[in-house]
Structure formats: C-alpha cells, structure tokens
Amino acid sequence: MTRRRLVGLSALGVAAGLGVAHGQQAPKITKASKRLAGYIEKTEYAAQTCVSCHFFIDPDDCEIVQGPVDATGYCNYYAD
C-alpha cells in the first residue's frame, strides 16, 4: 500500500466517522414502570434500598424507574 493511498483512506475514515457522529442523536431513555421493575415502597433487604442504589437521584427520583421512589424502597434493578 502506498503512502498516498494510506493517507487517502485515513482521511476518508475520519470524514465518515465525523459524519456519523454528527448525524446520530442520543437514544431516548424510557423509564420502566414500578410494576415492571418490581418496585416496593419498603423492603426487608436493608442493604439494598433505593438510597444505596447507583440509579437513585436524591431525594425521590430514579434514573430507570418512573415516578417518585421512596429512599427505603427496592426494585429488581438494584445496583450498588
């Protein structure tokens, strides 16, 4: 492969990558319903409450479950 061909292919790859990056939009995130997530207001799993979950947004929101959530609640998507 010649140097000229390599430079040409590199420039083409960069241009294509930039076109794709500008043309894409961030995916719309749809939150799961409380029922689908298996959400419960109070839990006996003291170590796995919403307040200690990675997705919890203080004071009563969640990145992946709809509606207000209780800090002492729990769902199937718990992540520490």
Give the pLDDT of the chain (80 residues) as one tens digit per residue.
566 554 454 554 554 554 555 556 777 779 999 999 999 998 777 788 999 999 999 999 999 999 999 999 999 999 98
Q: How many CB atoms lie under 10 A from the CB of residue 59?
A: 9
CB-based contact 56:62 (threshold 8 Å): yes
Q: What's the longest Cα–Cα distance across the chain?
A: 68
Pull the structure tokens for residue 76: 């199937």
Contacts (Cβ under 8 Å, ≥6 apart) of 78: 48, 53
pLDDT at 46: 78
